[in-house]
Amino acid sequence: QDDKLADRVWEAAVDFLGECGVYCQTTNRVILFNKDEILDILKYAPDSVTVGAGTDAVTEYARKVGDPRRPLLMGSSIGTPIEDEYFVPSMIAYIQEPEVDVTMAPTLTSIYGYDIRTRSPLEILSSWREVELTLEAMRRAGRPGMAFTGVGSSISDVGQLSADGPGGLRQTDLHTFGIVSELKTNYDILNKLTHILLRDGVVDPYANPIYGGLGGGIDGQAVLITAAMIALNVFFMATCVGTSPTHPFNFNDTG
């Protein structure tokens, strides 16, 4: 453990984010907070969040280096392309495991025999279908209150805004969306964020820096990942954050 190295990475990340900000693709403008503003906002970052309901509720903590508390365990075939008929059995296989705290759905490849196209009615249908099948899997596994992240099938804003509400994604679930690598956003993403905040939901954004991309190799990635996690808190008002640093050919690590 090298605390001085960790401190240098942190300082570099804060300086980098304060100088570069987050680029909005829709407006072609940069959203900026200076270093002092970033550090001040971080003082108010949540140190814990409870997700799920009833006996299936679990609390995630902002764990420190060497923290003895058990990390939250997500068990799922996250993002794996899957046919409708295998969705529920696949989800049950994870949800029924006692060690699993929260889950996330695989990705439907089609809806009622049709390929899913973004910003179409099919995206709305697939988003609702993802939520419905996930809720069914949790009921059948005997863990109806478990939190899940969603909506993975919604690439644009329309699917998530539709399926995040009564009968769909619940306030106690993780309302998840990704930002664009590297440190970019757009109105689709900001529309999702606005809706989640108005729903008083758990804001769960993620950023996946690309290894060998704008951040370069390991050293640059360390700074970029740290800057991205700070940005999720400062710019996107995160309740909790996530990252799966992505290799262009080998996908990513365990997140």
- Give tens-digit pLDDT for 152-171: 888 899 999 999 999 999 99
- Distance, CA of 97 to CA of 105 (rounded, Å): 15
The residue among 22, 16, 20, 15 whose CA lies nearest residue 233 is 22
- Read off the pTM: 0.93
Residue 66 domain-assigned (yes or no): yes
Which of residues 135, 170, 205 is at a domain's end? 170
- What proportion of the chain, given as a percentage, has pLDDT over 90? 84
Q: Are residues 150 and 56 in the same domain?
A: yes
Q: Are residues 98 and 76 in the same domain?
A: yes
Residue 201 domain-assigned (yes or no): no
Q: Are residues 5 and 107 in the same domain?
A: no
What is the number of structural domains in the chain? 2
Q: In terms of residue numbers, what domain contains 132?
A: 46-170
Residue 199 domain-assigned (yes or no): no
- What proportion of the chain, given as a percentage, has pLDDT over 70? 98
Q: Are residues 68 and 16 in the same domain?
A: no
Q: How confident is the model at residue 16 (pLDDT cuts 50, 70, 90)?
A: very high
Q: Are residues 25 and 68 in the same domain?
A: no
Q: Are residues 158 and 63 in the same domain?
A: yes
pLDDT at position 173, please?
A: 98
Residue 142 domain-assigned (yes or no): yes
pLDDT at position 153, please?
A: 85
Q: Are residues 185 and 236 in the same domain?
A: yes
Q: Are residues 116 and 60 in the same domain?
A: yes
Residue 241 domain-assigned (yes or no): yes
Q: Are residues 31 and 144 in the same domain?
A: no
Residue 83 domain-assigned (yes or no): yes
Average pLDDT over all residues of the chain: 94
Q: Kindly state the average pLDDT of the residues 214-241.
A: 96
Q: Are residues 81 and 157 in the same domain?
A: yes
pLDDT higher than threshold 60 for residue 255:
no
Residue 196 domain-assigned (yes or no): no
- Give tens-digit pLDDT for 112-158: 889 999 899 999 999 999 999 999 999 999 999 999 998 988 889 99
- Give tens-digit pLDDT for 50-108: 999 999 999 999 998 889 999 999 999 888 899 989 999 999 999 999 999 999 999 99
pLDDT at position 167, please?
A: 94
Q: Are residues 56 and 104 in the same domain?
A: yes
The residue among 134, 65, 62, 64 whose CA lies nearest residue 102 is 134
Q: Kindly state the average pLDDT of the residues 45-53.
A: 97
Q: Are residues 162 and 187 in the same domain?
A: no
Q: How confident is the model at residue 253 (pLDDT cuts 50, 70, 90)?
A: low
The residue among 226, 219, 230, 215 whose CA lies nearest residue 182 is 215
Residue 207 domain-assigned (yes or no): no
